[in-house]
Structure 1
């Protein structure tokens, strides 16, 4: 039985998290459109992008949007033209919701750059709710025997971290610096270590440094510290532009810095000789392709990561977002719902 109404959260008026921009509501359960499936949500991870949307760093594209783009649940209904995913199938709804499929970016395999791309929890309501819709072609089939709480962070934190690692051009057995150590970074570090990299973590959180060392990082220092050796590659997960010159200065010759966030504060002036000369490279990371998503989830199935989570009931989504804003979350915050 699918109810007519559900509990959800919406961003009413973007502003500082203390102003309570996220509010609980009762709304109609959405109907799946053409090519879409309706999913009963079991868990939804809380991403810093949700915080950027709530606080207005990411300009809302529609009023009263329900955030959340790391949602795990079961298919309960299908819209016209959908039917590949049978009812009861467990799926994930991730950040990338749709692309045009025919622009030059889509045709060359770079659908993450599609000008007409849309996003879960930004262009359409997301997983801070009991139900959501997702285009069937953009839903990721997921194992039914793994706790939903442990799968949810893989859908953005994992996938985006994987793409950031690719963009960082880390050579085999290379030295990787990770700046910031939240949900995405703690998953990315495990991939890199499993692939033979030496990982150095730089973050302001003492608890995060402890987690990094526990996961196998070679060192863990403060975000402003210099790593113990030059880096072949670095990934900036913290949305702090002041760390860009810090990370660039830590690179060895020919090294690459990938900036993984959708939002970054202003970058201070760079010095060519210190930060970019000797073929150092600065790159951004923009969303991901479905190929990235499938590749990462296959990798995670072969080498299951240790997913550190802090669960919150759906009714406390505002507290989860406030804890994320205050750096009180070790690993990933995850909203959990009854499975049936």
Structure 2
């Protein structure tokens, strides 16, 4: 059987290891993807440290996957070989439970998570159920598309459902893996964007990404600065710190 390279976790807490595996064959309702790019997400630690229920080892992490379908399994009629696709955290849904019938697939009672319930994108070829696939347009590279399948979806959907209108002040805390995307999305939504980060070193990048204001949380009181701008309708907090998030609350405007 043809072989491929994969990076797997053999047991909880063990280091990542590079191995050779047989290239898998797609089953009913599955496609095989030739992985062209896979982002690295902090949530991959769930797989390494067994922090999510139901993980079976060895397991290949990776849920920011972009590639090309190179084979399809029985019963797959809506996808074809050669098609550019992505797979994110959402690794498939049942379509039958109450949440699925409402169209709330991410809360499916039988939700599968890529890289947790089945092998993810840290390998040259991976299998994915068709319910996990997203079509990728030709105009974006695989490397650019991969992080959008997790970090991009997280920030885009947060802003899309937050209730802000064009012209509202939206603050984005952090200019990292999530925040740099949040700033760009917020700008394209037509919001007045205030980027928040520690120190002056991220100011130029934040403005280049589309921020209209930059607030240095080391040098100023962030909540007071936001109130000077009229108060934020939405604060998208991406920094992993409860303390920093608590300090932002008073920066919200009326009904923020």
2:200 & 2:54 partners in 1: Cα distance? Answer: 33
| 8 Å CA contact 2:62, 2:115 repeated in 1 | yes
Structure 1 residues 145, 188: closer, same or farther in 2, change over 3 A? Answer: same
Structure 1 residues 58, 219: closer, same or farther in 2, change over 3 A? Answer: farther
Question: Residue 115 of structure 2: which of 116, 121, 142 is its match?
Answer: 121
Does 1:6 find its partner at 2:4? Answer: yes
Q: Which has more radius of gyration?
A: 2
SS at match of 1:173: coil
| 8 Å CA contact 1:69, 1:94 repeated in 2 | yes
Does 1:95 find its partner at 2:111? Answer: no
CA RMSD of superposed structures (Å): 2.2
| 8 Å CA contact 1:7, 1:130 repeated in 2 | yes
Mapping 1:1-340, distance limit 5 Å: 4-15=2-13, 21-55=15-49, 57-58=51-52, 61-204=55-198, 207-223=201-217, 225-226=221-222, 228-229=225-226, 230-255=231-256
TM-score by length of 2: 0.87
2:99 & 2:187 partners in 1: Cα distance? Answer: 32
Structure 1 residues 222, 62: closer, same or farther in 2, change over 3 A? Answer: farther
SS at match of 1:65: coil
| 8 Å CA contact 1:96, 1:120 repeated in 2 | yes
Structure 1 residues 36, 180: closer, same or farther in 2, change over 3 A? Answer: same
Of the structure 1 ranges 47-56 and 30-39, higher mean CA displacement relative to structure 2 is found in 47-56
Of the structure 1 ranges 55-64 and 125-134, higher mean CA displacement relative to structure 2 is found in 55-64
| 8 Å CA contact 1:97, 1:138 repeated in 2 | yes
Structure 1 residues 168, 150: closer, same or farther in 2, change over 3 A? Answer: same
| 8 Å CA contact 1:231, 1:252 repeated in 2 | yes
| 8 Å CA contact 2:198, 2:216 repeated in 1 | yes
TM-score by length of 1: 0.67
| 8 Å CA contact 2:92, 2:130 repeated in 1 | no
Gaps of 5+ in 1: 256-340
| 8 Å CA contact 1:173, 1:195 repeated in 2 | no
CA drift of 1:58 comes to 4.6
Report which structure shows greater RCO (CA 8 Å, sep ≥6). Answer: 1
CA drift of 1:63 comes to 1.6
CA drift of 1:48 comes to 2.0
